[in-house]
Amino acid sequence: MPATPAWPPDSTPRLFVDTALAAGATLTVDGAQAHYLLAVMRAKPGAPVRLFDDQSGEWLATVAEASRRALTLTIGAQLAPREAVPDLWLCAAPIKRGRIDWVAEKATELGVARLVPVATRRTVVDRLNAERLRAHMVEAAEQCERTALPDLAPLTPLPALLAAWPAGRALYFADEEGGAPLAEVARPGAAAILIGPEGGFTAEERAAIRAVPAAVAVSLGPRILRADTAAVAAVALWMAAAGDWIK
């Protein structure tokens, strides 16, 4: 007797939609997403599509109608609820285009709950394309099976970030002058990782960070890391020591 094939198949396309999903609802997909389904995936009526909305989880939909430029999808069964996300923020000084996009992508893959770009004295980027960063985060979530997207905060000056630091949220900051190994001091619960720009924090900024009661200076090892590498390494260390990698 032949085995029953898995449904939906592994080749089923997976998309994020900025619309609340529910069983029995219909949804029209157009633009770039429609082009992907029609031209790349060759979707026809009856074809399955996996959707997630960053609110209720992931759902199985079926193509009901397909025209040259749009598709109508019917929402079926829920495949998974929205994932539980560790309460970790990544606060990082933005670096040049391409590298900050990579940081946003990898932060999403690693499970960060919130990405906060931080403007410091030595930050060379004074504005960010939030739409482009968001697109990289969405693409990463689509590819790595996430059902939750990180919140993307606006570019925030370091003094403003520190002045409004929430009580009870640990602030692990990568200090070029050294600190405790992050893997040894990371603790579960509300936390944030602060990564400086290329060239590091100034002495005044370092003093201001250390003045925050929740701040903990940490080391990321014996080698000097690029800012983007440091961000990803720090998040991975925290997830392994205190996040959902320990489950």
- The pLDDT assigned to 124 comes to 86
Confirm if 206 and 102 have CB atoms less than 8 A apart: no
Model pLDDT for residues 88-115, shown as the tens digit of each residue: 999 999 988 789 999 999 999 999 999 9
Q: How far is CA 153 from the centre of its chain?
A: 12
Measured torsion, CA atoms of residues 99, 105, 106, 111, in degrees rounded to the nearest 10: 150
Q: Is the pLDDT of residue 69 over 60?
A: yes
Mean pLDDT value across residues 17-32? 94
List the one residue out of 92, 94, 107, 99 whose CA is nearest residue 150.
107
Residue 115 C-beta-side C-alpha neighbours within 13 Å: 28
Mean pLDDT value across residues 192-205? 95
Confidence label for 1 from pLDDT (cuts 50, 70 and 90): very low
